[in-house]
Structure 1
Amino acid sequence: MITPGAAKLHDLRDILDGGALALDPAWRGVVRDSADGLARRLATGVALYGVNTGFGKLASTRIPPDRLAQLQLNLLRSHAAGTGPFLPAPVVRLILALKAMSLARGASGVRPEVVDALLALLAKDVLPAIPSKGSVGASGDLAPLAHLSLVLIGEGEAFLGGRLVGGAEALTASGLAPLDLAPKEGLALLNGTQVSTAIALTGLFAAEDLLKTALVAGAMSVDAARGSDTPFDPRIHELRGQPGQIACAAALRALLAGSAIRDSHRVDDPRVQDPYSLRCQPQVAGACLDLLRNAAATLLREANAVTDNPLVVGEGEVLSGGNFHAEPVAFAADTIALALAELGAISERRLALLTDPALNSGLPAFLVADSGVNSGFMIAQVTAAALVAENRALATPRSVDSLPTSANQEDHVSMATGAALRLATMAENLAVILGIELLAAAQGVEFHRPLRSSPPLEEAHAALRAVAARWDEDRTMAPDIEAAKRLVEHGAFARLVDLPA
């Protein structure tokens, strides 16, 4: 049971994964009070933006009472101008939940029936077909939310049982009736940051799991290269005091604890220090962890926020503001992108180290016997490098790229939706990069047999070998990379890591 305004990150992840949404029933009274307050205010005849006026640059145009319902319908229809591939079903589920929770705060002037209609779509798994492109992140996610809202009134398109059907058919097949919009309800549905927030949260959850996977890959690479665990000593990290760094060092220590490979070269090892890609993992991954935790706090606040305009407060006072401006979401998405790019960059450097006989402490060139006849991991490293370069380009901040819209009335926008959308591509690229590193590290560890790595790293090794055989001679590499990527995306390695808060 979620109280609107008090959802937790695990609640949101659960909804994304297909969990049900149940709201504390107390929301109904505050929403009704807000709708009643708006009705009283409207009856005075005062101009209320988007209620009895036009929108954006047309805000000074008064709308007569007999056309207020048409105003809301026209808003939904005219603003459904999105393009591009449809958003994935899990993201649409989260958008529906976020919009319902926001309106259930009782500050938007909508009737309880609007929240009920959103909850019904979610409960019946009627998922509006929402084009992914067309929002600049202010005034909210107008185009994508318009496509969502059309289904509520029996228009637009929706996915029902995985099949794309018309909005009216989707409602009828699910036993739902179209919603008749009252004044302001179309605007309340369209105005808000729920689309950009849901997409960014999806990227955040993927990044959190990928960071844990990067620690597993990095720890296994340390053993494959016969590296040192001294750089993970807690005394080093306590002296710096960066919380993410401290947590990642602790995770790396736990992953390497009990490794016979590490114990085999504690004495009389002529190497003094490892390269940065091994030695500075806590500093790099820890900085990424701090970024992700800060982004998580921002996105959780936004997920619980009321972000439409105008807002209805107190006894019906109507306040015009700008909570729809998604700058916090854009900044959060940009920082998640930076973390994804850096985790991939240092992973590829570890991979390059493992394949280079000048750096890998005695492993064969490109991690394969009979190098020359066999090329081993040579081109797999090239693939990783290509994806690192792509992620670097994608990590360019979107939040600084404002363009004015609506005849310069909306003269500064956040670009939050675009900032969030690229996270899925970056996460997929990183899953491939880490999958290749894990394959290479598993190959490297096997050259140290009969010595064993630590229990968690041997578990990771076994998971890889269940889908990809040891590389004894050249074969097609792509199936192994795809299999490792699937393990990464399904959390097979992330579950091995416990990150202290």
Structure 2
Amino acid sequence: MPSQTEFLIIDGETLSYEKIFEYIENPHLQVALSIEAINRVNHYRSAVDQWLVDEKKVIYGVTTGLGKLKDFVVDERNQNEFQRKILLSHAVGLGPDFPEQVVRLAMLLRANVFARGNSGVRIEFIERILQLLNKGVYPCVPQIGSLGVGDLQPMAHIGLCLIGAPEGKARFRGDKGISPDILAKAQIVPITFEMTAKEALSLIDGSTMVLAASIYAYYQAQQLCKIADMAAALNIEATRGEMNALDPRIHEVNNLQSEQDTARILREFLEGSQWTTDEGRKRLGELKPRVQDAVSIRSTAQVHGAIKDVLQYIQSILDREMNASKDNPLIFFDGVNFESLSGGNYHGAHLSYALDFMGIVITDLAVISERRSARLLDPFMSYGLPTNLVAKAGLNTGFALVHANATAMVGEIRILATPASVGSIPAKGNQEDHNSMAMGAVRKLMHMIELAQQVLAIELLVAAQAIDLISENMQGLCMGKGTFAIHRWIRLSIEPMWEDRFILPDLEKMIEFVKSGQILGQFPPYNMKKIAR
């Protein structure tokens, strides 16, 4: 049995990004409900049970059909069948499956919403979700279908697995199959599970899958920002950049804390660098003071800081969303009576806007990285680095085509940066006549992040190559403590390229270091003073 320290306790009110981060990082963390949440869920569920026997009570999705079928009555005796049919009719998603990590987050988030009580589900239903989650059973959830006003299609696929329906598919320890077989492999008994009144609707209502994917994208974006700082510092070292641009006085008067933090991080990476001095610049023929670098170098702290500032705003949205009652209808208790109210809390407008905003700043992160990389391949812009970063030009092409990938990917990212949130299209007989389109927003954002990861990997690879090409010229001069450590770590796995060779495997290795976050694990938490030469 796991120890108490390996549990994440959820109560519908205190889930935070820090706890989510821990959950992402620790796949063995178990989830359980707090005692207060259990009592609250049971209390609110009692109202649903009472309403079911009250023939005069009309509650959307409980005693009525769904959508335009809201005027049709559903009898109490048909509730179990109704739940199953809701799942079967809605589980029509298409496209590739979401990554397991996103599905895992979605199940956690929906259980947390239910812990608030307002959804009116049974405690047994929440425990069923946690049972699959804690056993490592992850439903296969297609990405296409949701319009961002409740993730009806994707969450219905999760529902089929929860009830053990053969129409559902799931994964367990690398195996994929129909849910009864997967549940049996995970030793989940009973394999079948019946949902009761309101539970199927409560599961699929709310933009849970979008939120899960948004949180995971945000997690990756945070990593990207840190890696971008590393790449920029290595680039500044390679181009013997002018350090005055990182003077804290400049950033203090600009009144943006995230910019000040970024400048400090860059200074720590470059602390002790003699390459970025007049003496270092003279080694490649610069006899006059540099004065200042191009904008992509000189304003790195300002741009990266602004991107981080936007991400902080987006985190505030995600923090609120993960502890909100996202359902319809919702149940309320005034201390004496229960009341059911229909509304629109399932709408994903907040998320859609945030996702589009995140896409915009990720685009600029890739743009400025590509510009910094481009400078390294041009002898004029790099102040004397060899053309295309190859020792013997002409016979060898060098890194021109490696960098062309970054140019191509920035072009794609710019196309994907077009906002999805402004593209509402009515659906379902105009009952849903305004849709957030948040699923489209998060799907393209996930692709944008993947492309940006590759762009940054290219900057790291070419900056490391640039350093190798001029290291002989720089003999007797120290690199920065952090940049020296980064370069050394890269060279433990990837050799410099003195003459043309098949470089793709090295590029793919560098991309994996970025995508996995492995490179970040070498330099926590960006305090370069702790890194010995």
- Per the normalisation by structure 1, the TM-score is 0.96
Which residue type is aligned with residue 503 of structure 2?
M
Kindly provide the CA deviation profile for residues 85-118 of structure 1, in whole angstroms up to 9, marking residues without a partner as x. 1111111111111111111111101110010000
**Residue 111 (structure 2) pairs with residue 100 (structure 1):** yes
Where does residue 189 of structure 2 map in the other structure?
176
Where does residue 82 of structure 2 map in the other structure?
71
- The match for 1:47 among 28, 33, 58 is 58
Change (3 A) 1:497 1:216: farther
1:328 is displaced (CA, Å) by 1.1
User: Is the 8 Å Cα contact of residues 326 and 416 (structure 1) preserved in structure 2?
Assistant: yes
1:245 is displaced (CA, Å) by 1.5
Kindly provide the CA deviation profile for residues 410-443 of structure 1, in whole angstroms up to 9, marking residues without a partner as x. 1101111121122222222112111111111112
1:28-427 correspondence to structure 2 within 5 Å: 28-44=38-54, 45-138=56-149, 140-155=150-165, 156-173=168-185, 174-177=187-190, 178-263=192-277, 264-265=279-280, 269-314=288-333, 315-427=337-449
1-structure distance, mates of 2:508, 2:393: 24
Change (3 A) 1:493 1:454: farther
User: Is the 8 Å Cα contact of residues 87 and 130 (structure 1) preserved in structure 2?
Assistant: yes
Identity %: 37
1:182 is displaced (CA, Å) by 1.4
2-structure distance, mates of 1:3, 1:52: 28
Where does residue 530 of structure 2 map in the other structure?
none
**Residue 38 (structure 2) pairs with residue 22 (structure 1):** no
**Residue 508 (structure 2) pairs with residue 485 (structure 1):** no
User: Is the 8 Å Cα contact of residues 109 and 312 (structure 1) preserved in structure 2?
Assistant: yes
Kindly provide the CA deviation profile for residues 6-29 of structure 1, in whole angstroms up to 9, marking residues without a partner as x. 112122123234132233232111
Which residue type is aligned with residue 36 of structure 1?
S
1-structure distance, mates of 2:267, 2:379: 26
**Residue 499 (structure 2) pairs with residue 473 (structure 1):** yes
Which residue type is aligned with residue 108 of structure 1?
S
2-structure distance, mates of 1:122, 1:79: 22
1:497 is displaced (CA, Å) by 6.3
User: Is the 8 Å Cα contact of residues 404 and 411 (structure 1) preserved in structure 2?
Assistant: yes
What number of residue pairs does the alignment pair up? Answer: 499
User: Is the 8 Å Cα contact of residues 330 and 419 (structure 1) preserved in structure 2?
Assistant: yes
Between stretches 58-67 and 290-299, larger displacement belongs to 58-67
User: Is the 8 Å Cα contact of residues 251 and 498 (structure 1) preserved in structure 2?
Assistant: no
Query: Helix, strand or coil: the match of 2:331?
Result: strand
- Greater length-normalized contact order (CA 8 Å, ≥ 6 residues apart): 1
Query: Helix, strand or coil: the match of 1:132?
Result: strand
Query: Helix, strand or coil: the match of 1:469?
Result: coil
Query: Helix, strand or coil: the match of 1:400?
Result: coil
**Residue 433 (structure 2) pairs with residue 433 (structure 1):** no
Query: Helix, strand or coil: the match of 2:340?
Result: strand
Which residue type is aligned with residue 500 of structure 2?
D
- Per the normalisation by structure 2, the TM-score is 0.90
2-structure distance, mates of 1:430, 1:477: 20
Between stretches 473-482 and 242-251, larger displacement belongs to 242-251
1:160 is displaced (CA, Å) by 2.0
Between stretches 256-265 and 48-57, larger displacement belongs to 256-265
2-structure distance, mates of 1:262, 1:408: 62
